[in-house]
């Protein structure tokens, strides 16, 4: 059953896929399926949180990392 029609449902599926697909491989040098979060995936999640959840993320100055020996 498609509550919003075929076109809107396909757009929603596409936008959802952008949030979760990508970064599934083992080679970090591959552009889309490498072992990193692709830029389109990062932007899709930020847009989802902003538009649907009302949570606006702020960019940090620089991440602090602790290295454990």
Condensed to tens digits (0 to 9), the pLDDT of residues 20-59 reads 777 777 777 777 677 777 788 888 889 888 988 899 988 8
Does 30 map to a domain? yes
Does 65 map to a domain? no
Does 19 map to a domain? yes
Q: Please give the average per-residue pLDDT across 2-15, as a whole number.
A: 82
- Return the pLDDT at 54: 92
Angle at which helices 39-51 and 6-20 pack, to 10 degrees?
120
Both structure tokens of 18: 């952008």
Domain carrying residue 44 = 6-51
Which pTM does this prediction carry? 0.56
Does 1 map to a domain? no
What residues contact 48, with CB distance under 8 A and at least 6 apart? 15, 19
Q: Name the residue among 14, 19, 53, 59 with its Cα closest to residue 39.
A: 19
């Amino acid at each position: 059953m498609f509550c919003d029609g075929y076109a809107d449902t396909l757009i929603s599926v596409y936008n959802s896929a952008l949030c979760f697909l990508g970064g599934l491989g083992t080679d970090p040098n591959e552009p889309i399926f490498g072992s990193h979060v692709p830029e389109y995936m990062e932007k899709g999640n930020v847009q989802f949180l902003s538009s649907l959840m009302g949570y606006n993320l702020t960019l940090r100055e620089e991440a602090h990392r602790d290295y454990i020996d």
